[in-house]
Chains A and B, each alone.
Chain A
């Protein structure tokens, strides 16, 4: 399998990201303008006209490339609209990076946006093609809550041990988000409040769920050898992979809901391209897909940070706190930064961008060199997964 990847060939030289949350005064097009303008302004001497091609990710806040080209009045440029569940933003970035590496373009932009708060509904909704009506219409919390009893049963946790683990994840991500001026939720949340919240699905309460938010983020990419023409502090793509699941976890026996096989494979390839053999030691931070607290728990094992069945102990021991061995979601994650679907993958890269450039303010880590983003969409048993390693140096 020729998955050589393009690690070392691509750099991010500019980024922008709106505050995530309730933007009652803005639609998707206005949010895109905010993120793109900030992104372009972050690269001295570059204007929107200099960008050769664009990718825009949105799950449902627009159709076609015109979601971006019309909002920004971009004329005579190629724009590709990307949709890949909650990994939409990451896949916009991935495709932009490949186009750049192919040599077809010199400078490209990946943007993502979601406008969720104009809906009158709770949680995420989707419009599916006409069907025979036999598929379970899983809500996101319902689908991801399947991880909790399965994990508890497989590793013999008590209800209290599971609860304390999930609470720590929510608590940590709210602590981190409180230090982030762009986050949706900017208050630390006491453990008692997390644990007494109304239930949404299974053991998951309101504070186990990520924030439904509006937002947009964007990145300007160039080939690695051109990076220093644009900025003194580029960040470099070191490895990147994507796996689209076969949905077989839902179709026949074998999958046990304590892992995401799609994540394991995508991250294995990204690590291999980046030359990472001990992720817990080598990575300073990881922006992971904490859509629900049990997701982050399972990811700690899938990403190779914890042994199987040990993730819950490591979580409770603070291994993934901001001052722990790997800072997981130092920007607050989906949990408190919010989850505007099409923007989320680029928001994860935005935190890596800030951290690796030393611009993360109050939540700045000490001299980070390598960072991971891991973004998934769908549900346990049937998901898509993106993984990407970025670093301060090209190699």
Chain B
């Protein structure tokens, strides 16, 4: 893999949802109880794409193309979700956006981004059937890696390898909610062999015999432990896995992000992932590794989560449906207005009046402050925090997790939004609360997902 131009990772970010599930027993949960094993849980308005937007949004502007989005749970089949991610990141039209699917797609995205100097964004939401052995052993997360572009590398790719094996191990028909799993005792043997062979090939490619950090990602719960033992791993990746669950396609990304969080310059990392074959990468952390992390570390995110009850988890995933107030289904958004307003809907681009300087939303042709027509410049608001002017908790509005909290928010630097608030702490919010935008799936109606920007409270720091 090595050639004259070193390739590797320039920036990375992980996104662990703010909620965890540590029990499959019904009833209230103790928020203070210590958590040893848990799964990360995406909120009801999060999906593989919104988690990906959250992670990739931290990487900064001008991400190198192609943009590769990978997940085992694509929001659409025929339609590209990478295109939605592309729009939410305000990337130029000329940047190609590719979709990869399946449990192996996380490693495939990483491979593609490393080979092309692009950006890999991996998001996943995993929903084993209630009662399945892996119910708490799977989780939801995202990770993003910018590989090309300018500037020093945070981690240099020293070598890699890949093998493919047709194997019925876990699978899901289109539209099926829960994964099917073959007897893991059988598949573990096969995957373990592939994993070891691929790791050995990657190490040989890199010219190394041992590394400082080992990352093993495999959905089969019987593979990780023997694989780590065989590779002489300390098991730090297993600590993260125990608190996230196997995050599907995103798992390899989350564990790699955690390894980069911990790696000192000069230290080497072996990343190996097994699904339908195996993929392995050998990286060396460089001087810029600490600066390459964007946003909080994986472990800081793990420590800042809130436990939720099992029934709430089941409602969020649509497994337990509750009957709210009788209200009409929300109207699905229409294609022409979505395209006309694409910058606003996906990039949260408002406008600043060139005549009076006032920022207004949503964008229109006339300044609400001075009345000037067609005299605007775009202003990106997707990272702009704001302050709650007033708010309500609406029990009438339809939701899987009522009440719907809505607020009027004044943005720092000007501008106002009337917006839904998500990821609320138990104590709720108050006038004056600080919030930041977050890209969410508002609802799905008539087969159309309606994505837009909500706000969530700024974490206490």
Contact = CB atoms under 8 A, between A and B. Distances in A.
Interface of A: 120-123, 125, 127-128, 130-139, 141-143, 145-147, 149-150, 153, 198-202, 246-248, 250-253, 256-257, 381
B92 interface: no
A137 B452 CA distance: 13
B345 A142 contact: no
A132 B327 contact: no
Contact of B396 (A201, A247, A250): A201
B357 to A, nearest CB: 11
Contact of B337 (A132, A138, A202, A381): A132
B361 A137 contact: no
Nearest to B414: A253
Nearest to B340: A132
Interface stretch (B39-47, B240-248, B272-280, B403-411): B403-411
A134 B397 contact: no
B396 A141 contact: yes
B345 A252 contact: no
B416 A257 contact: no
Contacts of A139: 327, 394, 396-397
Contacts of B418: 136, 138, 250, 381
A199 B395 contact: yes
A132 B338 contact: yes
A150 B431 contact: yes
Contacts of B336: 130
A134 B344 contact: yes
Given A132-B338, A133-B332, A150-B390, 10 more contacts: A122-B325, A132-B333, A132-B337, A133-B345, A136-B420, A137-B330, A143-B392, A250-B408, A251-B416, A252-B368
B167 to A, nearest CB: 41
B360 interface: yes
B406 A121 contact: no
Interface in B310-354: 325-328, 330-334, 336-338, 340-341, 344-345
- List 5 tightest A-B contacts by C-beta distance, closest first: A133-B333, A130-B334, A142-B394, A248-B368, A202-B392
Interface string B248-280: 000000000000000000000000000000000
B201 interface: no
B293 to A, nearest CB: 32
Given A131-B337, A141-B396, A251-B368, A146 B331 contact: no
Contact of B408 (A125, A141, A257): A257
A335 B408 CA distance: 26
A376 B433 CA distance: 30
B359 interface: yes
Contacts of A256: 389
Given A121-B326, A257-B389, A134 B408 contact: no
Given A142-B397, A199-B395, A248-B368, A136 B406 contact: yes
**Range for the number of chain B residues in contact with chain A:** 35 or more
B362 interface: yes
Contact of B394 (A127, A201, A257): A201
Contacts of B333: 130-134
Contacts of A145: 392, 394
B211 interface: no
Contact of A131 (B327, B334, B408): B334
B450 interface: yes
Determine which residue in A131, A141, A147 has the highest number of CB atoms from chain B within 10 A of its CB, and name it. A131
B390 A257 contact: yes
A22 to B, nearest CB: 16
Nearest to B335: A130
B452 A133 contact: yes
A143 B337 CA distance: 24
Interface of B: 325-328, 330-334, 336-338, 340-341, 344-345, 358-362, 364, 368-369, 389-397, 403-404, 406, 408, 410, 414-416, 418-420, 430-432, 442, 450, 452
A136 B410 CA distance: 16
Contacts of B362: 134-135, 251
Nearest to A128: B331
B345 A132 contact: yes
Nearest to B453: A134
Given A122-B327, A142-B406, A202-B392, A252 B358 contact: yes
B447 to A, nearest CB: 13
A199 B405 CA distance: 13
Max chain B Cβ within 10 angstroms of own Cβ: one of A120, A128, A248: A248
Contacts of B419: 136
A121 B415 contact: no
Contact of B393 (A132, A134, A202, A251): A202
B368 A133 contact: no
A125 B359 contact: no
A319 to B, nearest CB: 26
B389 to A, nearest CB: 7
Given A130-B331, A251-B361, A252-B414, A142 B392 contact: yes
Nearest to A145: B392
Contacts of A120: 326
A149 B432 CA distance: 11
Contacts of B396: 122-123, 139, 141-142, 200-201
A142 to B, nearest CB: 4
A253 B415 contact: yes
B416 A138 contact: no
Given A139-B396, A199-B395, A201-B394, A150 B389 contact: yes
Contact of B368 (A136, A149, A200, A247): A247
Contacts of B340: 132
A153 B408 CA distance: 14
A150 B389 CA distance: 7
A137 B391 CA distance: 14
A381 B409 CA distance: 13
Considering residues B326, B330, B391, B394, which has the most beta carbons from chain A within 10 angstroms of its beta carbon?
A: B394
Contacts of A123: 325, 327, 396
Contacts of B397: 137, 139, 142
Contacts of B361: 251-252
Contact of A121 (B327, B338, B368, B391): B327
A201 to B, nearest CB: 4
A127 B368 CA distance: 25
A252 B338 contact: no
Nearest to B449: A133
B392 A132 contact: no
A150 B390 CA distance: 6
